[in-house]
Structure 1
Amino acid sequence: MRDTKRDGAPWHADAEDLRAYARGELEAPRLWSVDTHLAACASCRQALAEAGEPLALARGWERLDAELDAPRPGLFEALLIRLGVADHIARLLGATPVLRASWLGAVVLVLATTVGAVYAVDSPMLFLALAPLLPLAGVALSYGPALDPTYEMTVVAPLHGFRLLMIRTVAVLVTSLGLNGLATLALPVYGLRALSWLLPGLALTATGLALTARLGPVLAPGLVGGGWIALLTVAATASHGTPAPFTAAGQGMAAAVAVVAAAALHRLRDRFDVSPAHSPFSEFSPFSDSARRSAS
């Protein structure tokens, strides 16, 4: 680009070039030419400012629209972010159904009622039988289409399915075990015996997750929970003292089951990453073929 015509009249940058320059879309060598010309031409600098104002205004409205449309983090999600949890992890945890007030309130009510019953009958067995089932139920409800409003989005999200499962599992376990631990503090007269729910709880949760890869998110925890109740029934009938699951041998067995189930879960982890049509949760999806047939 030259600054003067042959007849001596000044050259100016083309209006289209100035608009492209303002948008950041002008390419070399025209970009270099306009850059050089703008350094010496006040008239073109004024034209560039006028061309850039509508663009800046439009971009400002776009940013405002994006801010207004962006979902607002809830109290729990905002707290996680403040504690240093990554934004996308906090969003996943905030959408976990069992970490909401309704679930937590129900768990607190159940534990409080159970602790009251323990004091009434002067035996911790009711609490020890119930406490291991709470983390199992919480994890079962935290991943799958039954109660998760974000299930379909998480299935197609570019996130490792097993990683998502583990993120929510750890969150639910921390919450459930924390509430169980607080309830245990309300039973100080039973000492360490009041903590004998912990290893069975971990064993039930790990077993339920491992079986979920093959049986789905409803049948697997249902079978595990039913098996636990049946085991306690048999143990209580066969023993006049402490039921076997809460003895030293029973605790060792629960720890072994937890380790074996965790190893099996790790081995089956790829089953949580298959396509939605073949996932262990697909038959319960509201968009699955079986669901559509049932609805019709």
Structure 2
Amino acid sequence: MTYEDRRWHVPEDDLRAYARGGLEAPALWSADTHLTACAHCRAVLADLGDPVALDAGWERLDTELDAPRPGLLESLLRLGVRDHTARLLAATPALRRSWLGAVTAVLLLTVAVTVGRTESGRLTFFLALAPLLPLAGVALSYGPRMDPTYEMAVVAPMHGFRLLMIRTVAVLAAGLGLNGLATLALPGYGLLALSWLLPALALTATALALSARLGPVLAPALTGGGWVALLVTADAVRSGGQETLAPFTAAGQGVSAAVAVLAAGLLVLLRDRFDLSRDPAV
């Protein structure tokens, strides 16, 4: 008896199923691995199977082996959205653990500084910073310099505006959620601690609308700079007895809501400019 006769071989029934393309994993993987090193089984398979079907089987195996393995976030997203949408969302830089960890650390530090101030102190520091974090997240979620899947997004059968909205909603959900949790640590300030929400929406909508013409980096940068300049100006012109800056008063909240609505309307009007296949610069 030769060594070849003593070796384990794929059962003939499995080889027949393999030739028909009906062999399921893990038996399929075992047969594939064995066939690469066993000339005897390859010869039996050649007698049993159709060469075209065998080639199709090998191509199917290559596809399965080369297919990327989804991570935890992508696997969770696939429970509610399509596979290609989950892949584009999971690749968003602003949804990575490093970014979310950095945002969490900044918010914790800000809350610690705010809570540590005297009772007469204002929470201006927190209110000024909180709207900038969702804005930064949106800026990092879109564009050729920030997006690792930019080339895939360009050739994907998806309108650029739809991709922008999908990622914006995901980033806003994460950013606003973290800001909301941080706000819960400031119960002593009442509803004033929530006055960052409307400015955050206004800044994000404005940056997105401006991105149609200025690009995904310059527009958020200018919007964030405008927000800082507004706060500095409001601090310089407020009266001595006024503790709350104008953007966080009732009138300022109304202005923020109006700006958010107007910017959202402008964004819808300019939605065709986000079609990456026609305007790669954006």
Q: State TM-score, norm by structure 1.
A: 0.75
* Aligned residues of 2:154 and 2:276 also touching (Cα < 8 A): no
Q: Which residue of 1 aligns with 2:255?
A: 253
Q: Distance in 2 between matches of 1:121 and 1:152?
A: 48
* Aligned residues of 1:213 and 1:280 also touching (Cα < 8 A): no
Larger Rg: 1
**Aligned-residue RMSD, C-alpha:** 1.9
Q: Which residue of 2 aligns with 1:41?
A: none
Alignment of 1:137-176 (within 5 A): 137-176=136-175
Is 2:273 the partner of 1:271?
yes
Is 2:61 the partner of 1:59?
no
Q: Which moved more, 1:165-174 or 1:142-151?
A: 142-151
> Of residues 95, 101, 105 in structure 1, which corresponds to 2:101?
105
Letter paired with 2:275 = D
* Structure 1 residues 274 and 142: CA distance shift in structure 2, 3 A: closer
Q: Percent identity at matched positions?
A: 70
Q: Which residue of 2 aligns with 1:87?
A: 83
Is 2:135 the partner of 1:129?
no
Q: Distance in 2 between matches of 1:222 and 1:121?
A: 30
Letter paired with 2:133 = L
Q: Distance in 2 between matches of 1:107 and 1:171?
A: 15
Identify unmatched segments of 5+ residues in structure 2.
1-19, 22-45
Q: State TM-score, norm by structure 2.
A: 0.78
- 1:217-239 Cα shifts (integer Å, max 9, x gaps): 12111111011001011111222
How far is the alpha carbon of 1:51 from its aligned partner?
Answer: 5.8
Letter paired with 2:87 = R
Q: Distance in 2 between matches of 1:279 and 1:217?
A: 12
How far is the alpha carbon of 1:56 from its aligned partner?
Answer: 4.1
Is 2:238 the partner of 1:242?
no
Letter paired with 2:272 = D
Report 1 or 2 for greater relative contact order, CA contacts < 8 Å, sequence distance ≥ 6: 2
How far is the alpha carbon of 1:145 from its aligned partner?
Answer: 1.5
How far is the alpha carbon of 1:146 from its aligned partner?
Answer: 1.8
Letter paired with 2:199 = P
How far is the alpha carbon of 1:85 from its aligned partner?
Answer: 1.8
* Aligned residues of 1:214 and 1:280 also touching (Cα < 8 A): no
* Structure 1 residues 245 and 73: CA distance shift in structure 2, 3 A: same
Q: Distance in 2 between matches of 1:231 and 1:280?
A: 30
Identify unmatched segments of 5+ residues in structure 1.
1-21, 24-48, 282-296
How far is the alpha carbon of 1:54 from its aligned partner?
Answer: 4.4
How far is the alpha carbon of 1:79 from its aligned partner?
Answer: 1.1
Q: Distance in 1 between matches of 2:86 and 2:212?
A: 25
Q: Distance in 2 between matches of 1:155 and 1:261?
A: 25
Q: Distance in 2 between matches of 1:280 and 1:184?
A: 38
